[in-house]
Amino acid sequence: MENTKLWQKGIVYQIYPRSFMDSNSDGIGDIQGIISKLDYLKVLGVDIIWLSPVYKSPNDDNGYDISDYMNINPEFGTMKDMDELIEKANQKGLRILMDLVINHTSDEHKWFIESQNPESEYRDYYIWKDKPNNWSGFFSGTTWEKKGDQYYLHLFSVKQPDLNWKNPKVMEEIQKVMHFWLKKGIYGFRCDVINIIYKSSLEDGKKSLILTGSEHYHSQEGCHKILKTLRTKVMDRYDAFTVGETVLVSTKQANDLILPERQELNMVFAFEHMETDQINNKWFKTKFKPNKFMKTISKWQEEAYWNANYLGNHDQPRSVSRFGDDQDYRVESAKMLAALNLTLKGTPYIFEGEEIGMTNGDFKSMDEYRDIESHRIYKLLKKFMIPKKIRFKMIQKTSRDNARTPMQWNKNGGFTQGEPWLKVNHNTNFINVEDSIEDPNSIYNYYRKLIDIRKNKNILINGSFKRLNTKNNIFIFSRYTKKGSVITVLNMSKKYKKCPIKLNGDILLSNYDRQDLSDIKLKPFEAIIIRKEGAL
């Protein structure tokens, strides 16, 4: 069946509004800043722009703590600015995807303020209990906070109380929010931690290293029922789609959310490939294992009905620093990772700055970090007597602020005329958009060529996936239809390697200036995309 929807054949670009472009010199990215860069995105060749939350928020978790779903955070601008962004994007053939955070609100949302009165009709919008259970939170620490005579649940920060999805009024309110935005002409939602919103019970959980208690709320039947209602009562009334952020899902659990007959989500962000460089917890990083990574990617390509392919986002370290080499082979490895992400089967997601090979931040002390999760983890590591140098290294490697440093537009940064809310990486003097556009061999210009290939090769949109090699740090796979195939060859290491497979065909794109395929030794982080007649 041909994939013809824009969300199937298009490319998504994620913007973290706080860090993308500041138009009024207050050091904070904003909507007018995004509007000023729409042509940049159009020229890059992307189709859909996923905006991390821009709603009213006290910014405890940088906007993932919403205090008014139908109002814009004044730091980012006004509803008029938002209407202008949607209209101008749509005029340019770019669609807007909003971030829907409905597992929790901010504790400054009027619903929660009212809910603190036990007699209020809003009491049951949230989850209140006489005494806490033993559940652990996503940001470490406790998940219950006492307010008056009872405790309320917050799986994230104490300022992010969980909504009670057993309450039909919550369903009603959120449907109103979704219609409000869809009627404005957005193209759908990225749904934050959407597979944990229904808590079947509040019983104690089995003690576990990560997320004690998750068996009571992870991918519950009640969650599927909610998603089916939101899909049939709201989403299906519009030309729109949903991508769920789903923690800890298997391919089976993913398919239970996205198969068309389930009538729930259109696709999901999985995390399994993002856990191939850690020991069960993301803060305990190990050396990146390309073989494990490519086997995981291949499994998801073979088993998931559709994939949301990504290597980075606002929560993850920068992909070139994590999966490539941001020192000796930054350009080659960033291109190699792009070749991977844009030739896989599924919808490709590019995170702001990936197209110019932005690296992890260059933070020198904890007071340069803004992320609430990083500060909480640092405190916890201190409690466990982890030596200062080691715990700071752990934060440097994994902090979400690595991805949130301001977009590097030119040698001096170009993000703001004011004091940036988060430190700009010093390497903006050689990693920036302006220089990248000028340099024909830049990562940016490689992305433009690759995006063009991706969008004009039916094989890459509709072709099947077949793994050809997933060992010795060399990833080779084919995308094919009966008319022909495209082979992607990736050396995911900095070593010269003999290619394990004889290659022939026409080179569509090389991240070196390779001209032919006769007896090849793969160069460090080499990526070759080959067009072959006939299915492989």
Give the H or E element holding residue 521.
Answer: strand 521-522
Q: Which two tokens stand for residue 17?
A: 């509004």
Which one of the spans 18-26, 52-60, 198-206, 345-353 is the region binding Ca ion (CB under 5 A)?
18-26
Tell me if 444 sits within 8 A of 476, measured CB to CB.
Answer: no
Using rule CB under 6 A, residue 217 touches ligand ISL: no
Quote the Cα angle for 397-403-409, to 5°. 130
Instruction: Specify which residues 150 forms β-bridges with.
Output: 147
Using rule CB under 5 A, residue 32 touches Ca ion: no
CA distances from 120 to 115, 144, 334, 503 (A): 6, 20, 54, 69
Residue closer to ligand ISL by CB (options 246, 408) is: 246
Using rule CB under 6 A, residue 424 touches ligand ISL: no
Residue closer to ligand ISL by CB (options 23, 360) is: 360
CA dihedral sign, ordered 59, 60, 63, 68: negative
For ligand ISL, the binding residue among 30, 81, 264, 315 (CB under 6 A) is 315
Using rule CB under 5 A, residue 15 touches Ca ion: no
Catalytic residue among 22, 30, 65, 245: 245
Catalytic residue among 22, 30, 81, 192: 192
Tell me if 336 sits within 8 A of 511, measured CB to CB.
Answer: yes
> Which is nearest to 296 in space by CA: 354, 348, 250?
250
**Binding track, positions 275-304, relative to ligand ISL; x by CB under 6 A:** -------x----------------------
Tell me the C-alpha distance between 427 and 432, whole Å: 8
Whole-number minimum distance, CB 282 to ligand ISL, in Å?
Answer: 5
Using rule CB under 5 A, residue 526 touches Ca ion: no
Interface with ligand ISL in residues 445-504 (CB under 6 A): none
For Ca ion, the binding residue among 3, 6, 9, 24 (CB under 5 A) is 24
Using rule CB under 5 A, residue 28 touches Ca ion: yes
Tell me if 134 sits within 8 A of 212, measured CB to CB.
Answer: yes
Strands 474-481 and 484-491: antiparallel
Using rule CB under 6 A, residue 50 touches ligand ISL: no
CA 12, chain centre distance (Å):
10
Residue closer to Ca ion by CB (options 17, 244) is: 17
Quote the Cα angle for 468-470-476, to 5°. 45
Using rule CB under 5 A, residue 254 touches Ca ion: no
Is 245 tagged catalytic? yes
Using rule CB under 6 A, residue 61 touches ligand ISL: yes
Which one of the spans 14-22, 134-142, 176-184, 277-285 is the region binding Ca ion (CB under 5 A)?
14-22
For Ca ion, the binding residue among 30, 81, 99, 162 (CB under 5 A) is 30
Is 192 tagged catalytic? yes
DSSP one-letter string for 342-406: HHSSSEEEEETTGGGT-------SGGG---HHHHHHHHHHHHTT--HHHHHHHHHHH-THHHHSP
Using rule CB under 5 A, residue 21 touches Ca ion: no
Binding region for Ca ion (CB under 5 A): 22, 24, 26, 28, 30
Binding region for ligand ISL (CB under 6 A): 61, 64, 101, 138, 156, 192-193, 245, 247, 282, 314-315
Q: What are the residue numbers of the active site?
A: 192, 245
